[in-house]
Amino acid sequence: MADEALFLLLHNEMVSGVYKSAEQGEVYVPGFLFHKEHHDLQENGRCITKLENMGFRVGQGLIERFTKDTARFKDELDIMKFICKDFWTTVFKKQIDNLRTNHQGIYVLQDNKFRLLTQMSAGKQYLEHASKYLAFTCGLIRGGLSNLGIKSIVTAEVSSMPACKFQVMIQKL
Amino acid sequence: MQLGPAHPIPALCPDLQKSSELFTLTYGALVTQLCKDYENDEDVNKQLDKMGYNIGVRLIEDFLARSNVGRCHDFRETADVIAKVAFKMYLGITPSITNWSPAGDEFSLILENNPLVDFVELPDNHSSLIYSNLLCGVLRGALEMVQMAVEAKFVQDTLKGDGVTEIRMRFIRRIEDNLPAGEE
């Protein structure tokens, strides 16, 4: 489907836009309190948060549209399955390859060929940049779950591209 | 007697609808974020145009690969391809082409409904925001890659109370390839 290309390019632009504006707005003064690494780390955190927040809003909107005509979910696991199948398929054109849980509120969603990473070199070269391209999706999951009444923290990790794992920690109310 | 198409054209398939919602919503989140990041609307407009440009220069490859469209012989043909093939392919709409300038170097794309603004309402304090400005950047960037310098801008916008959305396109010049000396 053609308009997928548009989304992929837009997502790339969002990532590079957020990071570029962080670079330009840099007010780093070499001082005795700050280390450059520390500052960069903070800056990176801010960018990730921004992307995550955008994803969150999109997730909220999408889940409302997707669940308009679905039956009520049985339980938490049922919701997670919906995210892994229907939600993932609509957004990324494939299902999550593996869903694991400890039955105590932690779910690990594994995608062996994550759409937003497939355009990058599969070697180790860009591994450290992968997190930029996962933040939006973390937000997407968190936003979707949030509108289904589940509060969560979502993190992602990549050990070898383009596979990645999203870890969902449910926050018990 | 009027004849309809032999096969009824199916309504926009639900999948396409769903994934264009993904684009629409993502774009919305981006504009919202930019409005937070920049102090005035002009800067947001500029940023959207720039991002659009970056998308356009890449999108053209995807477009050429997918559409199998050959070289256009004049600007009118280009206009047709943009409206009937490109817009259809990526946004699922076919804008109409009107208001040709006598010299044939300017035309308008009229978008009856703009999918980017499906869920959008502009707040009062953003009256000079050109919400869909990304599109202008995309058009400019994509055409630049096929040796056409154009100017694209919104002259009407349903978000601002106009009846339709209108993008005005102006042909500026053909970009000649400047090959390094000694190369063919």
Question: Side-chain half-sphere of A55: how many Cα atoms within 13 Å?
Answer: 24
Closest CA to A28 of A49, A42, A48: A42
Cβ within 8 Å, pair B26-A9:
no
Q: Give chain A's domains with CATH numbers.
A: 4-23+30-170 (3.30.1380.20)
Residue B108: give the domain boundaries: 16-174
Q: Sort residue B98 into left (φ over 0), alpha (ψ -120 to 50) or beta.
A: beta
Residues 51-80 of A with CB under 8 A from B: 53-55, 57-58, 61-62, 65-66
Cβ within 8 Å, pair B47-A17:
yes
Cβ within 8 Å, pair A54-B89:
no
**Which segments in chain A show pLDDT lower than 70?**
1-2, 25-37
* Each residue's pLDDT expressed in tens, for chain B with a length of 184 residues: 454 444 444 444 455 455 578 999 999 999 999 999 998 999 999 999 999 999 999 999 999 999 989 888 899 999 999 999 999 999 999 999 999 999 999 999 999 989 999 888 888 889 899 999 999 999 999 999 999 999 999 999 999 989 999 999 999 999 887 766 765 5
pLDDT for residue B21 = 87
DSSP structure class, residue A124: S
DSSP-assigned states of every residue in chain B:
-PPPPSSPPPP--HHHHHHHHHHHHHHHHHHHHHHHHSSSHHHHHHHHHHHHHHHHHHHHHHHHHHH-----SSHHHHHHIIIIIIHHHHHS---EEE---TTSSEEEEEESS-GGGTT----GGGTT--TTTHHHHHHHHHHHTTTEEEEEEEEE-GGGT-SSEEEEEEEEEEPPP-PPTT--
pLDDT for residue B7 = 44
Cβ proximity of A105 and A158 under 8 Å: no
Residue B28 within any structural domain of the chain: yes
Give contacts of A15 with chain B, Cβ < 8 Å.
none
Residue B5 within any structural domain of the chain: no
Residue B38 within any structural domain of the chain: yes
Residue B45 within any structural domain of the chain: yes
Q: What is the pLDDT of residues A18-44, one digit of tens each?
A: 988 777 765 555 554 556 667 777 788
Give contacts of A140 with chain B, Cβ < 8 Å.
none
Residue B4 within any structural domain of the chain: no
Q: Which residues of B touch A (CB under 8 A)?
A: 15-16, 18-23, 25-30, 32-33, 37, 47, 51, 54-55, 58-59, 62, 66, 89-92, 119, 134
Residues B12, A26: Cα–Cα separation, whole Å: 46
What are the C-alpha distances in Å from B143 to residues A84, A104, B84? 39, 54, 15
Give contacts of B120 with chain A, Cβ < 8 Å.
none
Cβ within 8 Å, pair A3-B27:
no
- Residue B102: which CATH number? 3.30.1380.20
pLDDT for residue B12 = 44
Residue B8 within any structural domain of the chain: no
Residues A63, B100: Cα–Cα separation, whole Å: 43
Give contacts of A82 with chain B, Cβ < 8 Å.
none
Give contacts of A90 with chain B, Cβ < 8 Å.
15, 18-19, 22
| CB nearest A3 (choices: B19, B28, B54) | B19
Size of interface A-B (CB pairs under 8 A): 85
Cβ within 8 Å, pair B26-A7:
yes
Cβ proximity of B59 and A6 under 8 Å: yes
pLDDT for residue A26 = 54
Give contacts of B33 with chain A, Cβ < 8 Å.
18, 50, 53-54
Cβ within 8 Å, pair A13-B54:
yes
Tally of domains in chain B: 1
pLDDT for residue B8 = 41
Residues 89-148 of A with CB under 8 A from B: 90-91
The kind and range of the H/E element at A110 are: strand A106-111
